[in-house]
Homo-oligomer: A and B are copies of this chain.
Amino acid sequence: MPTWEIVPGHIATPLGFRAAAVRAGIKKAAGALDLALICSDAPETAAAGVFTSNLVAAAPVLVSRRNLAKSRGRLRAVVVNAGNANACTGRAGVRVAEQTTRVAARLLGIKPEQVAVASTGVIGVPLPAALIFRQLPRLAAGLSREDAAAVAEAIMTTDTFAKSCVMRTLAGRRAVHLAGVAKGAGMIHPRMATMLAFLATDVAVDPRWLRQMLQHAVDASFNCVTVDGDTSTNDSVLLLASGCSGVRLHRAGSRWFLRGLTELCQTLARMIARDGEGARKLVTVEVRGAKTVRDADRVARAIANSPLVKTAIAGSDPNWGRILCAAGYSGAMFDPARVEIRVNDLCLCRRGVDAGFDEEEAKRRLDQREVTIQVALRQGAAAARMWTCDLTPDYITINASYRT
């Protein structure tokens, strides 16, 4: 089975892709990139997407979902802007998103339904469409395989670093690539996709299989991240497969590809958790010994979403009682008297009570930049994992006046 390695590169490293980013003036910060275009030059490109489960879906989500269906999984390009979410903008917002697909399609010589759109930023403010339309020609003209690294930067909002990952493997004697960019920071909560991520690969694959594999990878990665429990109106994960590597996936033989895709998504998901608004620590919650996967997932989610657990981690306070308390209200069934809780391998709670740990040692382990909370329920064999971050005063400073 081929193994995947992380290599330098960007979203256009897989064969057949080009990308570009410009400043359209949607973000307020001077000079900040805020508009990007990713496209595949291969006519047979397959595409798949996973979108927010929020009933209040933003205009770009509505339009991209429709275009994926209309083109039968044959998207060729994605236009993304940051600084404005084009959400809660009514029919006018949908018209702007549609017009964006038409303008981009004309410039690229493809059909409008082959273009997806994605937006992130403030909700409820009309998208300054003129700014986008003015820049699209320049963006299309600037498409390249060299300057594509700027895309990861252009899609950022309150992110503190650009999130990008490229992987490579050999299938027989042919190289296959997987690449992705993502943005996260706030309004991050599982259930379907939870943020923006754009993925590219050069395998050839039927769109239906691509859809299945993407959903599988998203469930094991982006859907396991939470920053604040808020599921956004704009969450979108899009994957384009150009086929230019010459390697074709057959349903049965695609396990190695699924593994790579899942690793790519998990790498990006962890970056999102680590860069949660105001976060200083990446927190992994591992639950095992649950009766059912559903129970394991409930316990992991309750702990990862508990503001009291996350503030305790911010303060390096080994307050395991809050962890057990969150498990208790998660809705999962278990016997509290059997629970064991470890933090970075130090046992804080055994059989539901204090394990008699060294306070200073616990503080030292919680002071690390990566904190793993391990909860063993001892009821069965089911496990689940979530990624989150600590909750610091900066989360509030960032969000108290986001619009202004």
Instruction: Enumerate chain A interface residues (CB-CB to B < 8 A).
Output: 53-57, 85, 87-90, 92-93, 122-126, 186-187, 189, 191, 228-233, 305-308, 311-312, 314-315, 317-322, 324-329, 332-334, 336-337, 349, 351-354, 391-393, 395-397, 399-404
Contact = CB atoms under 8 A, between A and B. Distances in A.
Contacts of A53: 329
B230 A124 contact: no
Given A56-B325, A123-B324, A308 B393 contact: no
Contacts of A122: 319, 321
Copies of the chain in the assembly: 2
A193 to B, nearest CB: 13
Contacts of A324: 56, 88, 123-124
Contacts of A93: 353
A317 B404 contact: yes
Given A55-B334, A56-B327, A321-B87, A308 B124 contact: no
B233 A124 contact: no
B403 A319 contact: yes
A328 B229 contact: no
A186 B308 contact: yes
6 contacts: A89-B353, A122-B321, A230-B307, A230-B308, A314-B396, A393-B397
Given A90-B352, A324-B124, A312 B396 contact: no
Given A56-B327, A325-B230, A393-B396, A317 B349 contact: no
Contacts of A124: 319-321, 324, 349, 353-354
B325 A187 contact: yes
B396 A306 contact: no
Given A55-B332, A191-B329, A230-B322, 12 more contacts: A56-B324, A87-B321, A89-B353, A90-B351, A124-B354, A229-B305, A233-B325, A312-B400, A315-B402, A319-B402, A319-B403, A395-B396
A87 B315 CA distance: 22
A349 B403 CA distance: 15
B311 A88 contact: no
Given A328-B54, A329-B53, A317 B352 contact: no
A57 B54 CA distance: 33
A125 B55 contact: no
A127 to B, nearest CB: 12
A122 B402 CA distance: 35
A88 B349 contact: yes
Contacts of A334: 55
Instruction: Count chain B CB atoms within 10 A of each CB in A191, A229, A312 and give the residue with the most.
Output: A229
Contacts of A189: 329
A281 to B, nearest CB: 12
A228 B246 CA distance: 53
